[in-house]
């Protein structure tokens, strides 16, 4: 046993290190809201790939593009279809596409990829149309959606390949798009479709196997003393040219062009003269490969200088599962392009090219700059007047030397687990008069993470499961006027309110939720939406409504006293197993049990688990007061509160009852038949506890050690890692799994023990697990008793 003990100690140390590492950069959602069947949903029989959305608030519509159909749905209830238009491929097109080697039923269909508003009721729509992209106009009038007869070539506006990512934005009547220009998808292009069309140079220094993610327009000419032009920003990832790496290394980029760019006269004819790009930085504190941008949202401000881009990133190395969110100041990006240094290629040794900072002379007419007052004063009225020297410079050096740093210097949010796919951001006016950016982040497994960053503290208010199956969220849109969020996946679209304050039925829970949308209304005794106050319209009646909200501190001291828990009386029958329920409101809370004021710990007698406390083979001495307390971490402090109190009293007739009555207690529900265990095996089980626990701990430690070695600090909860844990100590994992699940199911404290019919051990392999070594390990054996315990 002694060598085993030594090994155990070592493994334990490793395991602890490994677990603390696991927790360092992991933001855990305070609440987990499971799938709710009553959310408004849309899906049509036989239709897939609901991946394009356009919110038309003025028409009261959500336009939803799927495979071969566009739907006009009611913006406030997307299960209501107002109109639809079918846009399939012709047999001829499909045959042609199939002949070129594509799959007839999968690739040779028309995937709607573009929906832009043109004017009031007119929209621009593009589809892949069996690898022959096509665009057209669509109108919505008097309840009818119609696709206009004349269609146009969509090459360069929409990808050929439905699986390829791309982006576009409509500014005025011009479409700016970033996609691939050819059938093979090998010729990337950023273009403006207009009478004077412009495009990128086909050079790897401009675009090097890019994945386009997002494009948007910033009206920088507005209130601009320099007379600068409006800009179009593009976010993408591509193979890096600037790093020496043994393998292809992907980096994230932001690029921009000027709206009024006309191309050059001789050099860069019909090409952008203002295409500049820079690396986007969103690095973790620990060293890791650059992360890859997946989606961006522009949070606009009336003053464009204060607008902010929010971006989600996922790791490029398969050993990591840390997603991040970073924010970038539009002005800061502009400053980098306007004044930063360039990179330049230099040939080293034979034919090897290295990109280094350019320290030579930069032409006086700044390469890549838009035409502004200073240029005009030199007689340069459009990009056609730019000197050749400037154009040649920018043609060969579109990359900036410096990277764009995130607004706060580091990520706003870091989370392990299912990868982030999309995000939208709302700017919420809270009771303190400040505005907070609330991030809604879609994940690969169909959840939305609702998160805020309070002065550097990452906080996930809640995670909401949108789909029953773990389908990736492919598109997300906001409608501020209706307060709704729309998400689309391959299998359907779903609508979710931006807040559901009614979820919190106690003041403590409402305030600790730290949701800028919600506050505790003292007069109504409800957690209700702050926006419902008249604050927005400026009348002071809002103040008389007396709402409590404490976003940065989570200060609950103003909550009414009346929420104290009343003790519940129950009768104790010696010889039974007793279950006392207590589920914390929050995933951030830890539960402690007290018996007559003394703390209880899991051991052979007591079993503390996520739904409550189990007392094995209760005896008369176990009568007394049991208190369940939850300790929640709030902004670095720990807030302890009582969740439930149980007063157990021995039954006057004592143990006779248990032997004579199989359903041996007074409050037992009739639907819950109780079977007494034969005493002998149970005693054996109890004796086995110590040994089994030791084995479970050791196997876990070994797994931990292996994982630690494999991942070297970047623990990935890969399917195989989970599998190993399950194989070697399945029970442990199951208990941990049930942890998140049970919390999800019971957001409010359960005061009545009878509500809990047995301990439901459900598990959901897709959630992540918060390991809490220590007491819980002892629960390995306790599981055996759950099914045959008697309930109070
Ligand atoms: C809408 O379209 C249907 C069928 O094409 C037509 O019968 C109806 O008159 C149209 N409604 C309006 C208001 O144009
Ligand atoms: C369309 O949806 C199907 C699922 O029905 C999925 O297998 C396929 O990958 C999706 N296609 C695209 C282009 O996303
Ligand atoms: C972005 O930078 C500009 C100029 O420095 C500044 O005025 C603005 O407040 C910044 N925006 C944010 C959100 O910090
Ligand atoms: C907000 O007010 C409207 C009407 O004034 C009411 O219908 C709605 O239920 C309120 N919402 C909340 C969350 O209190
Ligand atoms: C529980 O029992 C105590 C006495 O032990 C009594 O004072 C109290 O009122 C009882 N509570 C309830 C809810 O019956
Ligand atoms: C329960 O406890 C009593 C004494 O308190 C003991 O005699 C009995 O054997 C125990 N039963 C089991 C199954 O451990």
How remote is the CA of residue 489 from the centroid of ligand 2, in Å? 9
Q: What are the b/e assignments for 143-165, b being 16+ CB within 10 Å?
A: eebebeeebeebbbbbbbbbeeb
- Domain assignment of residue 79, yes or no: yes
Distance CA 82, CA 62 (A): 10
Distance CA 531, CA 739 (A): 34
- Beta-sheet pairing, 31-33 with 457-465: parallel
Q: Express each pLDDT in 565-592 by its tens digit.
A: 888 888 888 888 889 999 888 999 999 9
- Domain assignment of residue 583, yes or no: yes
Which two tokens mark 312? 């989600």
How much is the pLDDT for 284? 87
Provide the 8-state DSSP code for 761: -
Find the range with the poorest average confidence among 11-15, 28-32, 112-116, 681-685.
681-685
Can you give the three-state secondary structure of 64-101, one letter per residue?
EECECEEEEEECCEEEEEEEEEECCCCHHHHHHHHHCC
Which residue puts its alpha carbon closest to atom 10 of ligand 4?
A: 532
**Closest ligand, as measured to the CA of 166:** 2
Nearest by Cα to 261 from 174, 148, 342, 168: 174
Provide the 8-state DSSP code for 183: T
Residue with token string 């022959």: 132
Q: What angle do CA 275, 281, 286 make, to 5 degrees?
A: 160
579 and 668 in one domain?
A: yes
Q: In terms of pLDDT, which residue wins out, 746 or 482?
A: 482
Sequence length of the chain is 792
How remote is the CA of residue 123 from the centroid of ligand 3, in Å? 34
301 and 357 in one domain?
A: yes
Give the total number of structural domains in the chain: 4
Q: Crossing angle, helix 719-745 and helix 679-711, to 10 degrees?
A: 120
Residue with token string 């209880």: 600
Domain edge (last residue) among 358, 382, 417: 417
Q: Which residues pair with 192 in a beta bridge?
A: 176, 198
Q: Express each pLDDT in 389-438 by its tens digit.
A: 999 999 999 999 999 999 989 999 999 999 999 999 999 999 988 999 99
Which two tokens mark 465? 């499961």
User: Pocket of ligand 2, candidates 43, 47, 48, 69: which has the most ligand atoms within 8 Å of its Cβ, to mutate?
Assistant: 48
246 and 319 in one domain?
A: yes
Domain edge (last residue) among 108, 137, 161: 161
The answer to whether the beta carbons of residues 100 and 91 sit under 8 Å apart is no
Greatest Cα-to-Cα distance within the chain, rounded to the nearest angstrom: 106
CB of 619 within 6 A of ligand 6: the answer is yes
Q: In terms of pLDDT, which residue wins out, 50 or 742?
A: 50
How much is the pLDDT for 667? 36
At residue 130, φ and ψ (nearest 5 deg) are 55, 55
Among 75-79, 315-319, 723-727, the range with the most confident prediction by mean pLDDT is 75-79
- Asked if the model's pLDDT at residue 721 lies above 90, the reply is no
Nearest by Cα to 554 from 440, 630, 636: 636
539 and 626 in one domain?
A: no
Q: In terms of pLDDT, which residue wins out, 689 or 784?
A: 689
How much is the pLDDT for 25? 57
366 and 223 in one domain?
A: yes
Helical residues (DSSP H) of 484-525, grouped into ranges: 507-512
572 and 534 in one domain?
A: no
Which residues of 172-222 form beta strands (DSSP E)?
174-180, 188-193, 211-218
How remote is the CA of residue 647 from the centroid of ligand 6, in Å? 22
How remote is the CA of residue 400 from the centroid of ligand 3, in Å? 21
How much is the pLDDT for 218? 97
Would you call 265 exposed, middle or buried from its count of C-beta atoms within 10 A (0-12, 13-18, 19+)? Answer: middle
Which residue puts its alpha carbon closest to atom 11 of ligand 2?
A: 49
Nearest by Cα to 112 from 141, 142, 143, 145: 145
- Domain assignment of residue 187, yes or no: no
- Domain assignment of residue 45, yes or no: no
DSSP 26-68: -PPPSEEE---TTSEEE--TT-----EEEEEGGGTEEEEE-BS
Domain edge (last residue) among 490, 520, 548: 548
Q: Which residues pair with 157 in a beta bridge?
A: none
Which residue puts its alpha carbon closest to atom 8 of ligand 1?
A: 144
- Asked if the model's pLDDT at residue 297 lies above 50, the reply is yes
Q: Express each pLDDT in 168-207 by its tens digit.
A: 999 998 999 999 999 999 999 999 998 889 999 999 999 9
Which two tokens mark 276? 């500049």
Which two tokens mark 364? 């006086």
Side-chain half-sphere of 592: how many Cα atoms within 13 Å? 14
- For the segment 226-237, the average pLDDT, to the nearest whole number, is 96
Ligand 6 atom nearest 677 alpha carbon: 13
Q: What is the mean pLDDT of the chain?
A: 80
Residue with token string 């208010």: 461
In CATH, what number is assigned to the domain containing residue 520?
3.30.1680.10
- For the segment 352-358, the average pLDDT, to the nearest whole number, is 90
CB of 337 within 6 A of ligand 2: the answer is no
Q: Express each pLDDT in 609-662 by its tens digit.
A: 888 999 998 888 889 999 999 999 887 788 888 889 999 988 765 443 333 223
Distance CA 219, CA 431 (A): 30
In CATH, what number is assigned to the domain containing residue 244?
2.130.10.10
Nearest by Cα to 436 from 501, 534, 508, 514: 514
Which two tokens mark 137? 């106009």
Q: How far is CA 674 from the centre of its chain?
A: 44
Provide the 8-state DSSP code for 220: T
Distance CA 724, CA 730 (A): 9
Would you call 231 exposed, middle or buried from its count of C-beta atoms within 10 A (0-12, 13-18, 19+)? Answer: buried
Among 80-84, 527-531, 684-688, the range with the most confident prediction by mean pLDDT is 80-84
771 and 677 in one domain?
A: yes
749 and 657 in one domain?
A: yes
Nearest by Cα to 667 from 523, 766, 792: 792
The answer to whether the beta carbons of residues 585 and 527 sit under 8 Å apart is no
The answer to whether the beta carbons of residues 221 and 370 sit under 8 Å apart is no
At residue 5, φ and ψ (nearest 5 deg) are -60, -45
Categorize the per-residue pLDDT at 699 as very low, low, confident or very high, splitting at 50, 70 and 90. Answer: low
Nearest by Cα to 354 from 209, 244, 207, 238: 244
Distance CA 693, CA 689 (A): 6
How remote is the CA of residue 146 from the centroid of ligand 1, in Å? 10
For ligand 5, residues with CB inside 6 Å are 569, 647
- Beta-sheet pairing, 518-521 with 526-529: antiparallel
Residues 6+ apart with CB under 8 A from 668: 674, 790, 791
- Domain assignment of residue 266, yes or no: yes
How much is the pLDDT for 137? 96
The answer to whether the beta carbons of residues 626 and 594 sit under 8 Å apart is yes
The answer to whether the beta carbons of residues 611 and 716 sit under 8 Å apart is no
Give percent of the chain with pLDDT exceeding 70. 77
Residues 6+ apart with CB under 8 A from 520: 507, 510, 511, 526, 527, 547, 548, 549, 559
Tell me if the pTM is above 0.75.
yes
- Asked if the model's pLDDT at residue 4 lies above 60, the reply is no
539 and 572 in one domain?
A: no
Reading across the β-sheet that carries 598-600, which strands appear in turn?
568-572, 637-650, 624-634, 589-595, 598-600
In CATH, what number is assigned to the domain containing residue 584?
2.60.40.10
Which two tokens mark 673? 């038949």
- Domain assignment of residue 431, yes or no: no
How much is the pLDDT for 652? 67
The answer to whether the beta carbons of residues 621 and 595 sit under 8 Å apart is no
Its domain, for residue 239, covers 200-417
The answer to whether the beta carbons of residues 785 and 731 sit under 8 Å apart is no
The answer to whether the beta carbons of residues 475 and 488 sit under 8 Å apart is yes
- Asked if the model's pLDDT at residue 535 lies above 80, the reply is no
The answer to whether the beta carbons of residues 47 and 736 sit under 8 Å apart is no
DSSP 253-280: EEEEEETT---BSSTTBTB-S--EEEEB
What end-to-end distance do the CA atoms of the chain give, in Å?
Answer: 41
Q: What are the b/e assignments for 394-427, b being 16+ CB within 10 Å?
A: bbbbbbbbebbbbeeebbbbbbbbbbbbbbbbbe
- Asked if the model's pLDDT at residue 536 lies above 60, the reply is no
Q: Express each pLDDT in 734-785 by its tens digit.
A: 223 333 332 222 223 333 333 333 222 222 333 333 323 322 322 223 333 3
Q: How far is CA 102 from the centre of its chain?
A: 33
Q: Which residues pair with 83 in a beta bridge?
A: 72
572 and 543 in one domain?
A: no
The answer to whether the beta carbons of residues 736 and 769 sit under 8 Å apart is yes
How remote is the CA of residue 107 from the centroid of ligand 2, in Å? 9
Find the range with the poorest average confidence among 51-60, 234-243, 678-687.
678-687
How much is the pLDDT for 562? 64
- Cα distances (Å, whole numbers) of residue 218 to 170, 303, 329, 472, 477: 12, 10, 12, 29, 19
- Cα distances (Å, whole numbers) of residue 206 to 189, 251, 274, 394, 552: 10, 13, 12, 10, 44
The number of beta carbons lying within 10 Å of the beta carbon of residue 676 is 17
CB of 558 within 6 A of ligand 6: the answer is no
How remote is the CA of residue 208 from the centroid of ligand 4, in Å? 51
**Closest ligand, as measured to the CA of 336:** 3
Residue with token string 């439930």: 644
CB of 529 within 6 A of ligand 4: the answer is yes
User: Pocket of ligand 2, candidates 49, 50, 467: which has the most ligand atoms within 8 Å of its Cβ, to mutate?
Assistant: 49
- Domain assignment of residue 776, yes or no: yes
- Domain assignment of residue 64, yes or no: yes
Which residue puts its alpha carbon closest to atom 8 of ligand 4?
A: 532
- Asked if the model's pLDDT at residue 545 lies above 50, the reply is yes
Q: In terms of pLDDT, which residue wins out, 286 or 511?
A: 511
Nearest by Cα to 595 from 564, 622, 574, 630: 622
586 and 536 in one domain?
A: no
Torsion angle of C-alpha atoms 761, 764, 770, 775, degrees rounded to 10: 20
Distance CA 67, CA 534 (A): 43
205 and 91 in one domain?
A: no
SS3 415: strand
CB of 604 within 6 A of ligand 6: the answer is no
């Amino acid at each position: 046993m002694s060598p085993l003990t030594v090994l155990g100690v070592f493994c334990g140390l490793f395991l602890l290190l490994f677990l603390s590492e696991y927790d360092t950069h992991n933001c855990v959602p305070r609440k987990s809201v499971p799938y709710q069947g009553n959310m408004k949903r849309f899906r049509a029989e036989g239709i897939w790939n609901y991946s394009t959305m356009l919110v038309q608030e003025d028409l009261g519509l959500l336009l939803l593009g799927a495979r071969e159909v566009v739907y006009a749905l009611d913006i406030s209830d997307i299960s209501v279809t107002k109109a639809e238009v079918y846009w399939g491929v012709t047999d001829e097109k499909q045959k042609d596409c199939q002949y070129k080697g594509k799959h007839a039923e999968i690739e040779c269909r028309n995937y709607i990829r573009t929906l832009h508003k043109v004017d009031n009721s007119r929209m621009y729509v593009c589809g892949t149309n069996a690898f022959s992209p096509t665009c057209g106009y669509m109108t919505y009038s008097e309840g009818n959606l119609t696709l206009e007869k004349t269609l146009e070539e969509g090459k360069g506006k929409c990808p050929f390949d439905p699986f390829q990512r791309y982006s576009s934005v409509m500014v005025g009547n011009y479409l700016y798009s970033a996609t691939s220009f050819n059938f093979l998808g090998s010729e990337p292009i950023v273009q403006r479709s207009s009478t004077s069309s412009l495009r990128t140079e086909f050079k790897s220094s401009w675009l090097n196997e890019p994945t386009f993610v997002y494009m948007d327009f910033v009206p920088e000419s507005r209130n601009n003393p320099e007379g600068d032009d409006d800009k179009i920003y593009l976010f993408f990832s591509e193979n890096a040219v600037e790093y020496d790496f043994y393998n292809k290394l992907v980096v994230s980029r932001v690029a921009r062009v000027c709206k009024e760019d006309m191309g050059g006269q001789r050099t860069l004819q019909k090409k952008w003269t203002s295409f500049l790009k820079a690396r986007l930085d969103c690095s973790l504190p620990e060293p890791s490969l650059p992360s890859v941008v997946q989606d961006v949202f522009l949070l606009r401000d009336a003053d464009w200088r204060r607008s902010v881009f929010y971006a989600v990133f996922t790791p490029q190395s398969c050993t990591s599962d840390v997603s991040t969110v970073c924010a970038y100041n539009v002005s800061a990006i502009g400053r980098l392009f306007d004044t930063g240094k360039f990179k330049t290629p230099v040939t080293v040794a034979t034919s090897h090219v290295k990109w280094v900072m350019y320290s030579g002379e930069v032409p006086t007419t700044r390469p890549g700059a838009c035409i502004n007052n200073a240029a005009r004063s030199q007689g340069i009225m459009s990009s056609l007047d730019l000197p050749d020297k400037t154009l040649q410079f920018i043609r060969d050096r579109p990359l900036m030397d410096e990277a764009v740093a995130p607004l706060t210097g580091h990520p706003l949010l870091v989370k392990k687990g299912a990868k982030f796919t999309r995000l939208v951001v709302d700017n919420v006016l809270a009771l303190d008069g400040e505005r907070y950016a609330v991030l809604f982040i879609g994940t690969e497994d169909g959840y939305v993470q609702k998160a805020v960053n309070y002065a550097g503290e990452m906080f996930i208010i809640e995670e909401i499961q949108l789909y029953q199956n773990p389908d990736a969220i492919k598109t997300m849109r906001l409608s501020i006027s209706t307060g709704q969020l729309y998400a689309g996946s391959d299998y359907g679209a779903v609508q979710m309110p931006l807040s559901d304050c009614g979820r919190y039925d106690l003041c403590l829970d409402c305030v600790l939720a730290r949701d800028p949308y919600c506050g505790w209304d003292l007069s109504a005794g409800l957690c209700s939406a702050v926006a419902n106050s008249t604050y927005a319209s400026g009348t002071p009646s809002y103040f008389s409504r007396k709402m409590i909200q404490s976003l940065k501190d989570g200060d609950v001291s103003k909550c009414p006293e009346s929420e104290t828990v009343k003790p519940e009386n129950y009768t104790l029958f010696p010889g039974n197993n007793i279950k006392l329920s207590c589920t914390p409101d929050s995933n951030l809370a830890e539960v402690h049990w007290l018996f007559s004021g003394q703390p209880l710990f899991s051991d052979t007698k007591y079993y503390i688990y996520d739904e409550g406390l189990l007392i094995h083979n209760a005896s008369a001495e176990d009568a007394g007061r049991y208190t369940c307390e939850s300790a929640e971490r709030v902004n670095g402090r720990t807030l302890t509160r009582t969740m439930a109190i149980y007063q157990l009293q021995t039954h006057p007739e004592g143990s006779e009852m248990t032997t004579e009555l199989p359903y041996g207690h007074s409050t037992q529900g009739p639907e819950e038949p109780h079977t007494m265990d034969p005493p002998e095996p149970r005693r054996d089980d109890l004796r086995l506890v110590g040994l089994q626990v030791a084995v479970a701990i050791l196997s876990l430690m070994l797994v931990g050690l292996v994982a630690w070695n494999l991942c070297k600090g970047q623990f990935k909860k890969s399917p195989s890692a989970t599998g190993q844990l399950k194989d070697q100590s399945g029970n442990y994992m199951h208990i941990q799994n049930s942890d998140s699940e049970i919390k999800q199911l019971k957001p409010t404290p359960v005061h009545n023990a009878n509500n809990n019919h047995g301990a439901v051990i459900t598990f959901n392999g897709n959630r992540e697990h918060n390991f809490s070594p220590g007491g819980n390990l002892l629960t390995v054996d306790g599981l055996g008793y759950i099914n045959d315990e008697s309930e109070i």
